[in-house]
Chains A and B, each alone.
Chain A
Amino acid sequence: MPKLSPLNVIPLLPGTNCGQCGEQTCMSFAVKLLDHLIELKECKPLFSEKKYAKKLKKLKELVTPPIISIKIGTGEKQISIGGEEVLYRHELTYYSPTAIFVDVNDEDLDDLIQRTEFVKNYDWIRLGDRINLQGIAVRSLSGNPDTFAQAVKKVLSITDLPIILCTLDPKIMEAGLKVTKNKNPLMYTATKENWKEMAKLALEYDVPITVYSTDLDELKSLCVSLENAGINKIVLDPGTIPGEGHIGETYSRHIILKKSAIEKGDKSIGYPTIGIPAAVWMDQDIKNLSLGERVTLSYEEAKLGTILISHATNLLIFHTAENWFMLAIGVVRQNVYADPRINPAVEPGLYEINNPTPESPLFLTTNYTMTYFVVKGDLEESRIPSWLLVIDTEGIGVECAVAGGDLNVDAIKEHIEKYKVNEKVKHHGIIIPGLAARLQGELEDSANKVVIVGPRDCGGIPFLLEKRWNLEKIEELWQEMQS
């Protein structure tokens, strides 16, 4: 399916340029609508006036994404997966970030409690974004419906995060569904063998259901059969299989599904996808592995997770529940789902941090968004009042900007003048990033400043100030330089 253009949308809007949506014209509404910057319902006349009913219907169809959204869980922690419209993120941002689940089994309750607590408490802020985990996948290892129900109950007693019920046995599934009534869990999974019984349960409990097959024709047949039975809350698992050759096939199946839905417009498989990096552990005697073997497997799991996140697999189940692992996965997801339209450059200028005085230290960095935010964040956190001179390097970080010549002495001098640094800052010291150390000599000579080389990472700034920022000494040095 070709990507929509505003020209597809315009004829379906009222065309009165009435401005009720907050936009000047219907045209700009159309542009924003396709970029997800405004919602359809903001065009009030479209909904209130009967004569637009037909247009509205068509428009709704048009903007329904080729992969529908599925909700799992309820309440505040409910997640919505799917809904993307592109396969390549430079065309349009991916919107609902891959949901990350961790597995537990119903036989080892201590382990279950520990892992559930880990998922529940994994929650922190990184460069302005929240990094957290979305839910628990409970596996029936015991093969016993009661044991399974007890395990699910235990999880529910700890957290209200969304749950995936994992078993191929409809009886066990039903036991799980009974204790998760009104919690909207995801069923995992229907297969060619059990699909009728599973489908009945999905209808009865009105919950989303996964279909599994590594044969994509069979997977589609499962979808069509379920649709035919009146089910439309489906999640696709084309199989995640680790190991030589299998990983390539796994990635291919995921890409084929996305391409079929997004580019070919195949509605019968237009559902979110699920991947199971946890499968790298499936042939292992997990309890008896050495630390080295465990880390190697976790690495493989992280790589598998990364390739699936990279092209928008919508939900992943992991087994490794450790900080160092989730740090990497969390950041991969944060980066892949960052809006590519956000300019990598911030405005150059002289920034005030923590209400500086003319005596406060002066720092220098580049206008690459990442660098700027990290330095600013560290300075703010340290509570040190300071000035931050941000040099226009066209959004390039310090190391590359020095190597490529964007961060040079002339540029720094220009910025000092342009932003009236010498009027606001009354001393002669300037702290440059450790990665720009080579500019020190030239900068002292030509900008007439006492240059202090800062740490290579700005985390070391407080330490630097404590040890090396001494205004009197800086002014003494400067006097010396004048003679």
Chain B
Amino acid sequence: MSRDPEEFMNDLEKLFDETGVAIFKDIQFFIDSLVLRPPKAAGYQAATMATQMLQPIAKRAEFVWKDSKLATITEDYPSEINVITFKRKGGKNVVIGGEKYPPFYSFLGKNPNRPVVTADVFDVPIHTKERPSILRLSKPVKEHFLNPDVSTNPGLWAKKHVEEFGADMITLHFIGTDPTLPEKEGGNQSVRQALEHLEQVMDAVDVPIIIGGSGNHRKDVELFTGVADMIAGNRFMLSSVELDTYEKIVPVAKKYDQIVLSWTQLDVNNQKKLNSEILDMGLSKDLIVMDPTVGPLGYGIEYSFSVYERMRLSGLKGEETLAFPMSGGTTNAWGAREAFMADKLRPEWGPRAFRGPLWEILTAFILSIVGLDLAMMLHPGSVAGFKDIIEKLSAPKPSKPVDGLKWITMK
């Protein structure tokens, strides 16, 4: 028991008064230093001395409320992230960018637009035993699209994403246009086939669309050029341009007023370089989104995390070549074995039905805390889970206070 110092001194004096002896046992003194010498004389003299020596207790262990104030945090972010508007003629527009502060720093102010979701659709059906295909999706993902099978028609697939699962936009990945992939599994498709698929999606949904290439550089140029007429009048996004391909693709974007996705791989300097090359070619800065590459949770997100964070902070601090909204293929999360591995192979990881979608949500969410504006996602549960937390985080400050200590006594 610690005691009130004053009371303690009173007791001590009383003790000396009555007995002339004081025995210290089992007490701790919370003072800097204390020297106890045998009293030169008994009685009051010693008591007075003790009083003087013990003064620090009263001084240190004093329980008085000290009103203090935390200095307000003011931070100067001189620049803003460019605003990008995806436009769908006769349909919905989607706006990203325009940030003035780091994500969710509501103590500084509110950013105008919140992160959004674009959902993946492909130009080949999902691989099944009966139907070999280049598109192999993990079980927890594909079961949402195979029953009924919407994967044979990108339009139906897109519709499901938008109407049932709440995606803000659709990315149509033309992976089947890669000429090096086998035809019998959906590869080596012509641009004409691509146009058909695009038409199906445009007819089915009224949201902006992202045109995803196959990664085959030559074919991508053909693809982006080929679809340009069909998408003219809308403002979609060509995904993506790289250091090897921008020279051919940027002119298409410029001519048809399309956005480009400037893609580099976890390298801030390369990203600056590519962006400034694109700007130098005369593409307006409200037509550029960048993607520095997503390493999924568990397999490199630490690199992406720091690259996204550095780029966003530099953009806000005035680095013009980095002041663009950021996109990311958070679908990559399904490449993590913690997300896709079957329960029987890893019983110690718990049910995949729970860990899988969570993996994709956390991959998208943790990057949105450092600047991701556009999450490319796949699993309907992940889309919902991601959008939910973004909404809760972006909602205005509630007026009613909540007792944050109730958790101590929750049942």
**Chain A residues near B (Cβ < 8 Å):** 88-90, 103, 105, 124, 126, 139-141, 143, 166-168, 188-189, 191, 196, 199-200, 203-204, 212, 214, 216-217, 219-221, 223-225, 228-230, 239-241, 243-249, 251-252, 255-256, 259-260, 264, 266, 268-269, 276, 278-279, 281-287, 295, 298-300, 302-303, 306-307, 310-311, 322-325, 327-328, 331-332, 334-336, 338, 340, 344, 368-371, 374, 394-397, 399-400, 402-406, 438, 441-442, 456-457, 459
Contacts and interface: CB of A to CB of B under 8 A. Distances in A.
B310 interface: yes
B404 A328 contact: no
Contacts of A396: 265-266, 293
Contact of A457 (B337, B370, B410): B337
B231 to A, nearest CB: 23
Interface string B398-411: 10011011111111
A33 B300 CA distance: 27
A224 B402 contact: no
16 contacts: A90-B309, A243-B398, A247-B389, A248-B393, A249-B106, A278-B407, A283-B406, A286-B411, A302-B358, A310-B305, A323-B350, A324-B354, A327-B349, A370-B295, A371-B299, A442-B180
A394 B63 contact: no
Given A89-B309, A266-B71, A327-B338, 15 more contacts: A141-B410, A143-B409, A166-B408, A200-B2, A203-B2, A217-B70, A220-B70, A228-B62, A256-B107, A266-B70, A279-B407, A335-B298, A370-B295, A404-B242, A456-B136
Interface stretch (B35-43, B146-154, B359-367): B359-367
B398 A397 contact: no
A199 B293 contact: no
B350 A248 contact: no
A276 B313 CA distance: 28
A435 to B, nearest CB: 8
A224 B391 contact: no
A189 B404 CA distance: 12
B369 A335 contact: no
Contacts of A284: 410
A406 B365 CA distance: 29
Contacts, number: 260
A399 B332 CA distance: 10
A67 to B, nearest CB: 15
B372 to A, nearest CB: 12
Contact of A248 (B332, B362, B397): B397
B392 interface: yes
Interface stretch (B79-87, B89-97, B163-171, B340-348): B340-348
A335 B292 CA distance: 18
B232 interface: no
B67 to A, nearest CB: 5
Most chain A C-beta atoms within 10 Å of own C-beta, residue among B64, B244, B306, B392: B392
Contacts of B104: 248, 251-252, 307
Contacts of A324: 349-351, 354-355, 358
A404 B295 contact: no
Contact of B63 (A105, A200, A248, A397): A200
Contact of A303 (B71, B337, B341, B362): B362
A248 B63 CA distance: 34
Contacts of A166: 408
Q: Is the interface of B mostly helix, strand, loop or mixed?
A: loop
Nearest to A166: B408
Q: Is the interface of A mostly helix, strand, loop or mixed?
A: helix
Nearest to B381: A299
B66 A221 contact: yes
* 4 closest residue pairs by CB, A with B: A324-B350, A403-B215, A239-B404, A323-B350
Nearest to B297: A331
A287 B350 contact: no
A225 B301 CA distance: 41
A328 B336 CA distance: 11
A287 B301 CA distance: 36
B136 A230 contact: no
A253 B310 CA distance: 22
A445 B337 CA distance: 32
Contacts of A311: 369
B303 A344 contact: yes
A208 B179 CA distance: 65
The size class of the interface chain B forms with chain A is 35 or more
A303 B390 CA distance: 10
Contacts of B302: 335-336, 338, 340
A328 B136 contact: no
Most chain B C-beta atoms within 10 Å of own C-beta, residue among A216, A228, A278: A228
B366 A141 contact: no
Given A89-B305, A245-B396, A225 B63 contact: yes
B344 to A, nearest CB: 13
A90 B306 contact: yes
B409 to A, nearest CB: 5
B409 A139 contact: yes
A243 B69 CA distance: 27
Contacts of A300: 388-389
Nearest to B60: A230
Contacts of B181: 438
Contacts of B107: 252, 255-256
Most chain B C-beta atoms within 10 Å of own C-beta, residue among A216, A328, A336, A396: A328
A262 to B, nearest CB: 11
B298 A286 contact: no
B70 A340 contact: no
A126 B337 CA distance: 12
B305 A335 contact: yes
B401 A264 contact: no
A90 B309 CA distance: 8
A240 B313 CA distance: 26
Contacts of B310: 88, 90
Nearest to A373: B299
Nearest to A393: B265
B298 A281 contact: no
Contacts of A328: 297, 338, 355, 358-359, 362
B75 to A, nearest CB: 8
Contacts of A124: 348
Contacts of B409: 139-141, 143
A249 B30 contact: no
B23 interface: no
B283 to A, nearest CB: 21
Interface in B17-33: 28, 30
B142 interface: no
Interface in B113-138: 136
B61 A230 contact: yes
B392 A244 contact: yes
A243 B392 contact: yes
A336 to B, nearest CB: 7
Nearest to A328: B358
B385 interface: yes
Nearest to B410: A282
B321 interface: no
A237 B231 CA distance: 53
Contact of B215 (A331, A369, A402): A402
A260 B73 contact: yes
B248 interface: no
A248 B394 contact: yes
Contacts of A229: 60-63
Nearest to A307: B369
Contact of B358 (A286, A299, A402, A456): A299
Contacts of B395: 244-245, 248
Interface in B175-227: 178, 180-181, 215, 217
Contact of A459 (B66, B136, B337, B355): B337
Given A167-B408, A247-B389, A400-B265, A259 B298 contact: no
